Structure 1
């Protein structure tokens, strides 16, 4: 009874007029606080099969129940075909989910907002039901999260990370190959050739799923292409750093894609990956990252952050004498863009039955120390512990947690872990700081409505061609790219570019 009275008092104090997706509605004092609710959080990733996550959730839900009379459950969208399944789930709008992990650059956040899948959040709603988040996010950052005046996203804007992609490689092997590290695609080709001929492993045991990052990685290395976030998850549109006022697509014009296709054909012919590369991801028979950390393959493609937080120290521990480097996409042209603050963000489902309580839960996950450590690290003493230096490390023999909470991390509450190579983190930060630019279009919400059918069509064509291009499957790559571009034109690529050019012109004409 005391618990119920405590919760009721807290929530009654914050019950005011709210706005939902269908308009205004009044929340009576007794409507929200008097009953226990379940808040379902949707994230991308495979559902864990061990008991560590459920054990953590029991502990977390004790605190959530005490503070806001709610509990959290997690709905996972598996990585296999995640983009399609994610969008389909959001489109159901059946009230089965409340909090949605999203992103403007890789999870179609603005597209889903424009389709009515996210709830518009008024300033007053956020002030009352997520007050600590509201206070911690600047006006400028909230404005980045607005569309047509309403806020749709809560940004992960107080967390330092580098999610630009690149290739991790064995630095000790590169030196054996006569290279002072890998700093270009030409260096990378020499390195992989050395691995193929001397190390008795598959140079890159890829699962064939990294085509989007791989292709744009080459293009951004050989040009000053900058991706425009929020148009397509395939990263097909953007500008040049040297001309931020002109939309273009290197997938439709320029030599970079042709040169890349030729190089990938060369890699294929030289046996840098398995012959069945494009079906590798269906078998579940390999984990390239684990193989890399065990010294069983030559490269791994992913974020900078993955390298210094997960791979660097693990490789050194598992393979004595091994060392790794990171060839970041854009290194050759010093072309790196600091991510948008909505690379990770949280939205509320338009069909949520408990949007106010969902915001309260999110506010606690992001700002309450106990809730934060539980959702991110697990139970102290069970899943993690602090060493004598205050660094976080796993409890030996414990089952970890999988919450994939990438939508509200907070540097103010982070506990540095022993797995991360913090000296490498500091070094790569210094490198990036010398050449990075901030993402220039964070205040543009691209209107996709006038070209939505064309965007769907070109994305489908991208999916049909890009895997073959990225893994050198066609014997005549130049002709294959020409065929790809012809189909893009026929599907309306030029209409899309013209429409976004119009929007970019309007952005600059408004004094941006």
Structure 2
């Protein structure tokens, strides 16, 4: 629901004027310390932005927290050297990247945000996979007044405001992050597989059209492709496996964002009952079928025996022909998997089966799947916003952070498309800045490397995908934190074992898990979340 109340907007402007001189952090934090920029009638600054009245006389280092393994090929450092020359000229600042690497990333990300580290400035976040609402409520992010955004990130402010999207970033009527809402991507998940092997396995047209077809595909690989692991999944980094994917593809449950239980997407609504919160892990029989199938996969040998300790790279193994599958986003398929497999495994006919394909249970992209926040402990939030505004909206800076150095990391074709130098390999030669919080369709170059069926795939998804209906639903989890934590402890004991078929009697273990979750406070949490949903429904006029 987009809030239009004029009185609230007037109040927000008044509050913005008050906070412009001394921002108060989340959770009662003290006023922002050592702010590095201030508004003065200087008419110009050392950064060369004449006439904006912002003093940038002191050089500042802005640190951005990114997700992913830090590249080791030297290209990131070379790019930053050139980018920082531009940033110094424009706003007298430079950018430093800090990475939360994929090993145990879910835990390490939250630890990093709540550590009180005052060296961090820009935080990559998201409301679905990076706990944006949870970290907002815990005080990790700084509230951003509209005046602050208009002053230090004016192009970004206008872009988001034009879509009326600031409301989806507000908590207690204050803005806490900036949505990546001007970038087209499909981030729904699914399984990448080889169409040539699927055809050999007897699947019609070499196509996986329903979840159970994967069993046929994996079994064929295990029995006929020596030296290949059907799906060499890194279970250490994906402890829930595809239990949720099976539920999505075989029911009308839809994950409710912003209320994960530990690392697990546990709470849901249903398409047939959109304003009632429950959990398919507790109140539906589909989980029994999912767990039975995972035991079957384990018995077949779909993954390695020590899957829960494995943290390798199934994508590179897919490229090398030693894994029969990998899973991630639709965007990953059309921008990486398909074009790379055509080069590295000619004739493989790489395809994607997405979760919910057989029952059209797939969501359209979430505008806050990528977002940027300013750390509550940032020493120079204003300059951080200035840097972010350039990364998102300045063509020179945008190309550096997203593509690298022209001529070395990428080239532009005669028809204006993005391409790569001869011999360039996506697996080894990417810059790897992982700037996933401010991409902009206005500055994106059409990528000639992408699969030529991309537009048709996106059109097909647009035709069946639903809009997520709860962007403004903020669930108050403070009162249920203890119960959520207790439930998370139970899930961490059972879900990985169920997801990878390690229990001899899955049904018995699910029933045991359900009782423990019940004892941990399931009904209390459910009632609390439902109360918030009821209020949301009433306020939405549904």
- Taking structure 1 as the reference length, what is the TM-score of the superposition? 0.93
2:58 pairs with one of 32, 35, 41: 35
Task: Tell me what 2:164 maps to.
Answer: 140
Which moves more between the two structures, 430-439 or 466-475?
430-439
8 Å CA contact 2:360–2:464 kept in 1: the answer is yes
The residue that corresponds to 1:159 in the other structure is: 183
Matched, 1:414 2:437: no
Of the three residues 332, 347, 361, the one matched with 2:387 is 361
* Cα drift, residue 389 of structure 1: 3.5
1:327 aligns to what SS in structure 2? strand
Deviation at 1:296, TM superposition (A): 2.1
- The whole-number CA distance in structure 2 between the counterparts of 1:142 and 1:149 is 10
User: What's the CA shift string for 1:44-83, capped at 9, x where partnerless?
Assistant: 1112222111111011111111111111000111111111
Aligned to 1:4: none
Contact 1:19 1:125 survives alignment (8 Å): no
Distance 1:47 1:491 in 2: 39
> In 2, Cα distance between the equivalents of 1:499 and 1:230?
14
Residues 126 and 371, structure 2, Cα contact 8 Å, conserved in 1: yes
Other-structure match for 2:294 = 264
**Aligned match of 2:265:** 235
- The answer for the alignment partner of 1:79 in structure 2 is 102
- Unpaired runs of 5+ in structure 2? 1-18, 43-53
Moved more, 17-26 or 295-304: 17-26
Q: Does 1:352 align with 2:375?
A: no
Tell me by how many angstroms 1:94 deviates: 3.0
1:313 corresponds in structure 2 to 339
Post-superposition CA distance 1:8-32 (Å, at most 9, x none): xxxxxxx964634257789453895
Indicate whether 1:220 and 2:243 are aligned: no
Q: Secondary structure at the match of 1:185?
A: coil
- Separation in structure 1 between the aligned mates of residue 452 and residue 178 of structure 2, nearest angstrom: 28
| Aligned equivalent of 1:49 | 72
What is the TM-score with the length of structure 2 in the denominator? 0.88
Name the SS of the counterpart of 2:401 in structure 1. Answer: helix
> In the TM superposition, what whole-angstrom CA distance separates every residue of 1:149-184 from its partner, at most 9, and x where no partner exists?
100010000111111111111112112222121011
Once residues 167 and 67 of structure 2 are traced to their aligned partners in structure 1, the CA distance between those partners, rounded to angstroms, is 26
* Contact persistence 1:126–1:359 (CA under 8 A): yes
Match of 1:3 in 2: none
SS in structure 2 opposite 1:184? coil
- 2-structure distance, mates of 1:314, 1:455: 41
Distance 1:292 1:389 in 2: 32
1:452 maps to which of 472, 481, 484: 481
Question: Which residue of 1 is the match for residue 231 of structure 2?
Answer: 204
Q: Confirm whether residue 299 of structure 1 aligns to residue 325 of structure 2.
A: yes
Q: What is the CA–CA distance in structure 2 between the aligned matches of 1:28 and 1:220, rounded to whole Å?
A: 51
Q: How many residue pairs get matched?
A: 493
Deviations 1:341-399 (A, max 9, x none): 11110000001010000000000000000100100110111211123333222334664
Q: Distance in 2 between matches of 1:457 and 1:415?
A: 47
- In structure 2, which of residues 104, 113, 122 is the aligned counterpart of residue 90 of structure 1? 113
Assess if the C-alpha contact under 8 Å between 1:41 and 1:98 holds in 2.
yes
Aligned residue among 150, 170, 192 for 2:174: 150
Change (3 A) 1:397 1:198: closer
Q: Which residue of 1 aligns with 2:492?
A: 463
Is 1:501 aligned to 2:530, yes or no? yes
Deviates further, 87-96 or 374-383: 87-96
Structure 1 residue 511 displacement after superposition: 2.9
User: How far did 1:329 drift?
Assistant: 0.4
Question: Which residue is equivalent to 1:66?
Answer: 89
Which residue number in structure 2 is paired with residue 393 of structure 1? 419
Match of 2:307 among 270, 273, 277: 277
- Aligned-residue Cα RMSD (Å) equals 1.8
SS of the aligned residue for 2:123 comes to strand
Instruction: Provide the residue aligned with 1:476 in structure 2.
Output: 505
